[in-house]
Structure 1
Amino acid sequence: MAHMTEQLEFAEYCGNSTVAIVDNDKNSSQFIVNSIHEHIPLCSVLWTDTDGRNAIDLCLDKSTAPDLLLLDMSLEGVQGPSVCRRIRRRDGTVKILAISSFSLNSYRQVIRDAGAQGIVSKNNIRLMLETMICLLVKSPALEGFESAMTAHVRISHEPNGSRLTVREEELLDYVAATGASNEDVSARFGISVETVRKHLNHIIHKLHVTNLLQAVISWRNTRHE
């Protein structure tokens, strides 16, 4: 990641803004914290965590909820999109900026549907900080994404989503976004093909459809694609 020396535009308007970070790479998280302190000094980092479940609890507690959450897509346990959706189902105030070291194309639609306000690469710290400033002081969401409140209203009224477990949401998100086979899903999530089949059968049953294609269509329709 390149080092910056110049002042970032509008950084001085971030006074009293708060940020939190959930990233399973502690070195990456600390680098982001240091960069925020150096280039957006009026912005406070409330907390960092490596566990998505902890992040959900912290964001839903008014005493620890940040103005903006930086959310890594690849976490241990609960994955980024499910963390985002769990927060957004119950909250419409915390803005969520997804971050990833991998290709953003594979996550963009999934994280948009999960209620985030944007996504940016972890490999470009300047762009990440500029995007943070944009969301904190200039815009409710990046182009193509919903505001936190609009996403909250949509997701909180999804009749199907509340019946699925975190893991089921993750698998269905992935299949809907990529068209992955059972073998691909098995490799992506580190579970057996038989376990994948069981999860998908549970999803089909819970969504009251007869096959996976119908489940994907139903899942997409509830997200107003």
Structure 2
Amino acid sequence: MTEIINNSTLGIVDNDPLVASAIQSLLVETCVPIQILWTATSAEQALDTMKTPSQRPQAVLTDIAMPGMNGAELAHHIKKQYTDIAVIGISAFLDSENEKRYGTQWSDAFYAIIPKEIPTIQLVRTIGKAIGNGEVASWTGKSINSMRLSGKELQIIANYARGFATSTIARQLKISEASVKTYARRAFEKLHVHSRAEAVAVCVRNGWI
């Protein structure tokens, strides 16, 4: 088990538990210098969790578009109750569309608002800047580099991302289908994933494909 030597802490909020879990897994598996204290599937659950002092992270990463209390409202609540917690919003929408949904003051309580598909290094550095931790803000992603795929492995994952079947990839690369599967399996092991979809997601998230 990797020992966490950095005391930077984070809470993750997304109404889709799969998304929250995926973000947590990505950060853990790439050994970023941040401890994930908890994930929550609603703003209300996050606020309830933070009533316990030991569960108050230095930063909260929250989806903006959530049913019930949305991310902007959560950010305002946190800013009012816990002035030392930085809130970072994640959104799939353009700023203008968010303004239409939440008003022109929607972004006031956020330290930053970032796209959901932001590369991991940029995400980590944004968190580091938000909490004033220079080590995290300048993280180089060395652990990600250690997982870097070979050219052939990356090429095969990229082709899976395009929707190509194993047989098609084998013909294009002029190798056997068994070889394609072997390269894919090696990629899965390096990325600590169990499926093509997960491998594609990690590679896209890190800006490799």
* % identity of equivalent residues: 24
CA-atom RMSD, angstroms? 2.4
| Counterpart AA for 1:87 | I
Structure 1 residue 60 displacement after superposition: 4.3
Structure 1 residue 14 displacement after superposition: 7.7
Question: Does the 8 Å CA contact 1:32/1:125 hold for their aligned counterparts?
Answer: no
> Which blocks of at least 5 consecutive residues in structure 2 are unaligned?
136-209
Question: Does the 8 Å CA contact 1:19/1:68 hold for their aligned counterparts?
Answer: yes
Q: TM-score normalized by structure 1?
A: 0.50
SS in structure 2 at match of 1:112:
coil
Q: Which has the larger radius of gyration?
A: 2
> Which blocks of at least 5 consecutive residues in structure 1 are unaligned?
1-12, 140-225
Structure 1 residue 57 displacement after superposition: 2.4
Cα separation, 2, equivalents of 1:68 and 1:58? 14
CA deviation map 1:119-165 (0-9, x unaligned)? 101112333233123323149xxxxxxxxxxxxxxxxxxxxxxxxxx
CA deviation map 1:70-128 (0-9, x unaligned)? 01101121111111111211220111101112224444753432x22111011123332
Residue in 2 that maps onto 1:117: 111
Q: Could you say if the C-alpha distance between residues 131 and 99 of structure 1 is closer, same or farther in structure 2, counting changes exceeding 3 Å?
A: same
Cα separation, 1, equivalents of 2:127 and 2:26? 12
Provide the aligned length of Structure 1 versus Structure 2. 126
Q: TM-score normalized by structure 2?
A: 0.54
Residue in 1 that maps onto 2:58: 67
Question: Does the 8 Å CA contact 2:43/2:74 hold for their aligned counterparts?
Answer: yes
Matches within 5 A, 1:1-225: 15-107=6-98, 110-113=105-108, 115-126=109-120, 127-136=122-131, 137-138=133-134
Cα separation, 1, equivalents of 2:52 and 2:17? 23
Cα separation, 1, equivalents of 2:52 and 2:75? 15
| Counterpart AA for 1:100 | S
